[in-house]
Amino acid sequence: MKKGCLLWIIIIAVVAIVAFGFISWGIKVYNHIVELEQGVVSQWGNVETQYQRRADLIPNFVNTVKGAAAFEQETLTQVIEARAKATQVTLDPANMTAENMQEFQAAQGEVSSALSRLMVVVERYPELKATQNFRDLQVELEGTENRISVERRNFNEKAREFNTYIKQFPQSIIAGIKGFSERPYFESMEGAETAPQVQF
């Protein structure tokens, strides 16, 4: 075999090995990005489940309050309207943006705010607070609010892992080529740093 021919075979072999290594690396990075993205999607499902749980509890809670006292209709109406609005705002976890996350969060915040106002009004009705059904529902709602908080924190952690990975070099090359984009985070609502004041 001629020396020139052997040199070409070596060059082609080296190029093939480098190309194979690069393709293997790209596939590995892509698969890991998909895995992280599915973690975000899965965790978003957990967040939605807890918000849905709260939405499902609200009608029973409102009916219990309405049935047990000559209750302020305006407060009940605000809770019902906030719930209706919140259940209409949905997010596709594959197409999340900071804007639609803020819209979702604002709608859910209105529900939380309306429920808080309802709980303040309930304080004026000790006979209502004494009923077992009310206490059970109140415990369920409080537990759900805690679960929502935990799932939101878990979502933010999954989103942070995903966002960090796709922004790091050289993974950012594959993420950019395949169109992966950053996922938004849950943020504190305006005024969350100040405790609400309850006055009787």
pLDDT (0 to 100) of residue 119: 84
Q: Give 136-154 pLDDT, tens digit per residue.
A: 888 898 999 999 999 999 9
Burial class (CB in 10 A: 0-12, 13-18, 19+), 126: exposed
pLDDT (0 to 100) of residue 70: 60
Phi and psi dihedrals of 154, rounded to 5?
A: -65, -40
89 or 131, which is more confident: 89
Q: Would the pLDDT of 128 be above 80?
A: no
In this prediction the pTM is 0.80
pLDDT band at 195 (very low <50, low <70, confident <90, very high): very low
Q: Give 153-194 pLDDT, tens digit per residue.
A: 999 999 999 999 999 999 999 999 999 999 999 987 655 444
List the domain range (segments joined by +) for residue 92.
Answer: 10-178
Q: Is residue 193 part of a domain?
A: no
Q: Is residue 1 part of a domain?
A: no
Task: Tell me the CATH number at 51.
Answer: 1.20.1440.20
Q: How many domains does the chain have?
A: 1
Distance CA 193, CA 117 (A): 18
Distance CA 129, CA 55 (A): 21
pLDDT band at 94 (very low <50, low <70, confident <90, very high): confident
Q: Is residue 3 part of a domain?
A: no
Q: Is residue 188 part of a domain?
A: no
pLDDT > 70 fraction of the chain, expressed in percent and rounded: 90
pLDDT band at 77 (very low <50, low <70, confident <90, very high): confident
Q: Is residue 191 part of a domain?
A: no
Among all chains, which residue has been given the structure tokens 């537990």?
Answer: 143
Q: Is residue 112 part of a domain?
A: yes
